[in-house]
Amino acid sequence: MTVYERIRVEPISGALGAEISGVDVAGELDAATIGEIRQALLEHLVIFFRDQELSVARHKSFTRRFGDIFVHPNYQLGQEDKEMVYLLRRPGDTSVAGEKWHADTTMTATPPMGAILHALKVAEYGGDTLFANQYLAYEALSDGMKEMLDGLKAVHSDIRVAGPQSDVNAKRSSQVRDDANWRPTVNAHPIVSVHPETVRKCLFVNPVYTMHIEGMTEAESGPILNFLYDHQCRPEFTCRFGWKPGSIAFWDNRCTVHLAVHDVFDRVRHMQRTQIAG
């Protein structure tokens, strides 16, 4: 475990996740502090901050300390600020963004390396977010399965989560593009990815964006992918984070999947999120 001098790091589970304290992310942080935050992210895969006051400008400034801001193609609805995504749930919504296990925006040619989500308004209870460690998911596979997956790619598309055919906007307050000019974004990625910083192998599939294994039909690749979807979120690979106003979650999108628990239906939930380019 790394010894930290500028921040306090307290793990929240055996699989992944740590709460970071002793730092104001809205402040002017020096390079050494940013370096320790990045190291904590690499070590724990998802890190959390409490009681943070973060304006849009400071949220984006903090994000840029880790890379360029990724502009999400499906949340471009004519707004002036294209870099910030607002995730809103209102009473009566029957669906919420992110309620199935996924990594973010994996249909792009270079998926985001991470995301920083800040809670503006949340319910007194419920609405937790679950995260799962995809290093552990890969390492727990049998040698035979690892050998079979080696070299295979999966095709990813956003056809289930945007566009007029998805019908998601009728169910939730967080709206996405569904205009007639929308076209799906489709790219293939290795099923077993090598993290560019840790050089560890991890699974890189998810049931939201992954469509089929390249070179196979959906029917042929379905049993393999369905096994991986069930396997990648086994309880021993996960942590759970309970939100409060001012909380921040910062996750490594390259080696985790996550899920928003939709268990509070009569409260408003308002979050703001940036993503970091891969």
Active-site entry in 59, 72, 258, 262:
258
Active-site entry in 104, 189, 195, 252:
104
List the 238-241 sheet strands across, edge first: 238-241, 129-133, 256-260
Is 177 considered catalytic here? no
Is 72 considered catalytic here? no
The residues spanned by each domain of the chain are 8-276
What residues have CB less than 8 Å from 30, skipping those under 6 apart?
none
Whole-structure pTM value: 0.96
Active-site entry in 59, 72, 89, 102:
102
Mean pLDDT by runs of 10 across the 278 residues of the chain is: 94 98 95 98 98 96 98 89 94 92 98 98 95 98 97 97 92 92 96 98 98 96 98 98 97 98 93 96
Identify the CATH number of the domain defined by range 8-276. 3.60.130.10
159-213 confidence digits (pLDDT tens)? 999 999 999 999 999 999 999 999 999 999 999 999 999 999 999 999 999 999 9
Is 273 considered catalytic here? yes
**pLDDT, position 47:** 98
Is 258 considered catalytic here? yes
